[in-house]
Amino acid sequence: MPPTSPTPLQAASAWSSARSITDATARVTSSINAQLDTTPDLALVIATELSSTDLRQARDQIRAELNPKTLLGTTAPALIAAEGTLTETPAIAVLALIGVHAHPFTLDALEQPGETFPASIDHLAQITGTADDTRATIVLANPKGMAIQAMLPRLNASRGLGRTHPILGTTIEDATLLLNDDTIHQGLVGVTLSGDFRVDAITSQGATPVSENLVVTRAKGNLIQGLGGRPALEALARAHQVAGTDTPLLLARLIDENSPTRGRGDYLMRTIVGMDEQSGSIAADELIRAGQTVRFHRADRAMGEADLAMLLDGHKLDGPPAAALAFSGSLRKIPDGVVLARAFAPAKPGSHRSRSGQELAGVSHTLPILGPAGAGEIGPIRSVSYLHRQSAVVALFRAPEKNIKPQER
């Protein structure tokens, strides 16, 4: 028999905030079924402001009416959609994908008893199902009982040499996680995806420098005592003067001290979580050691939108993707779904574009866009995934390169 051709990538998304969870879920599943040719291989579910009972009811209804091969989901403080970011409203949302093979897994502890570090990495690769044809790994975490920042380097290492597929996701305090029929309240759930498609990963940190590069001259744990030979707090005050604002600044750490470049993709943004005027020290939300290079940055809504839009510009050359899965941080107040929808909105014919004195119509969209917002986001910088707090992490699902049609201009 000739080999069967792979199933083409298809995607659909829908969300509803109808008063009754039964009605909301019915609207979502009805919309998904109307958009797809067959049952989905993967259903990603995001719920906001739902009780445990309502969440289980929605999950069971989705499984009954969509019959996905794998269901992965989480509760979240807010929901990213093409129409904007939905907060403080009970809602249920689904992003459904066809043409992907999903290997589901759970992790509930950092260490496997009795295993050495290399062996635990090998075991982690088996759990996550990492292979040469892996396209991406999506993880949803409730950090209770798990040190996520300590787990991420292991997940990165478990990909093996030469594998750089993205690891993306979110970590949400007190989240309820869903994996098929299981409801999980701590640890991590995820899927490793393979198939005849590709995933383009974007991490937009959305900040601009307001200081020179500074070498950490004294540090202990996450406490930075000296920068460039002077108290760290003095360097921070000088950066505030340059920025012209009292708004909290970010501390960007140079990822690779041996890198010949010092561009936007070479830094990892970290938040300043405290300061001590008596000692002149500042505290970051990760461990810092003497000898590392840091730089103060400023972030605001305009910068965040512009940075994400700029990163999306390069991806527009490949035409619109089949779907976008987005994760947005707790310190980010940007309608990332709207920025995504605007980037890939169909171009209007020249005769219909705005002229002087005419009002621009709202952005129309056909791209399925969905994701959780208001938490910590996991995304790659230079193919290594980190935990962020103020970034937008986006996975663009695309047909394989040979099938891409250039976007009409």
pLDDT digits (tens, 9 = 90+) for 306-358: 999 999 999 998 999 999 999 998 778 889 999 999 999 876 544 444 444 33
CA-closest candidate to residue 371, choices 337, 409, 347: 337
CB 297 within 8 A of CB 239: no
E strand or H helix that includes residue 78: strand 78-81
Give residue for tokens 């719920």: 47
| Distance from C-alpha of 226 to C-alpha of 236, rounded to nearest angstrom | 11
Give residue for tokens 């989705």: 62
| Distance from C-alpha of 36 to C-alpha of 12, rounded to nearest angstrom | 7
Mean pLDDT of 211-228: 96
Of residues 365 and 326, more confidence is placed in 326
| Distance from C-alpha of 80 to C-alpha of 307, rounded to nearest angstrom | 18
Beta strands 369-373 and 323-328 are: parallel
In the chain, residues under CATH classification 2.40.30 are: 208-298
Q: Nearest 5°: CA angle at 286, between 284 and 290?
A: 80
Tokens of 272: 């300043």
Burial class (CB in 10 A: 0-12, 13-18, 19+), 318: middle
Angle between the N-to-C axes of helices 336-343 and 301-316, in degrees from 0 to 180, rounded to the nearest 10: 30
104-157, pLDDT tens digit by residue? 999 986 554 455 556 688 999 999 999 999 999 999 999 998 888 889 999 999
Q: What pLDDT, on a 0 to 100 scale, did the predictor assign at position 147?
A: 86
- Other beta carbons within 10 Å of 312: 19
| Residue 178 pLDDT > 60 | yes
Mean pLDDT of 8-15: 96
Mean pLDDT of 200-212: 95
| Distance from C-alpha of 391 to C-alpha of 268, rounded to nearest angstrom | 10
| Distance from C-alpha of 375 to C-alpha of 389, rounded to nearest angstrom | 7
Q: List Cβ neighbours of 32 (8 Å cut-off, separation of 6 or more).
A: 12, 13, 14, 40, 43, 66, 94, 96
CA distances for 217 relative to 9, 155, 225, 262, 267, angstroms: 51, 31, 8, 19, 18
Taking the alpha carbons of 122, 126, 127, 131 in that order, is the dihedral positive or negative?
Answer: positive
CB 335 within 8 A of CB 292: no
- What does the chain come to in residues? 409
**Most confident of the following: 140-149, 208-217, 357-366:** 208-217
Task: Indicate the SS3 state at residue 311.
Answer: helix
Residue 125 gets the label, from left (phi > 0), alpha (psi -120 to 50) or beta, of alpha
- The amino acid that residue 359 corresponds to is E
Going by pLDDT thresholds of 50, 70 and 90, the confidence category of residue 402 is low
35-69, pLDDT tens digit by residue? 998 999 999 999 999 988 999 999 999 999 999 99
pTM for the full predicted model? 0.90
Does domain 208-298 fall under CATH 3.30.565? My reply is no
Going by pLDDT thresholds of 50, 70 and 90, the confidence category of residue 248 is very high
CA-closest candidate to residue 172, choices 161, 186, 158, 183: 186
| Distance from C-alpha of 88 to C-alpha of 29, rounded to nearest angstrom | 22
Q: What pLDDT, on a 0 to 100 scale, did the predictor assign at position 52?
A: 87
Tokens of 104: 């589901």
Tokens of 210: 């307001």
Q: Output the average pLDDT for the chain.
A: 89
Chain centre distance of CA 101 = 20
Mean pLDDT of 9-37: 95
| Residue 286 pLDDT > 50 | yes
How many Cα neighbours within 13 Å face the side chain of 212?
Answer: 5
Q: What one-character-per-residue DSSP string does 350-390 give? A: GGGS--TT-PPPPPP--S-EEEEESBEEEEEETTEEEEESS
| Distance from C-alpha of 180 to C-alpha of 217, rounded to nearest angstrom | 50
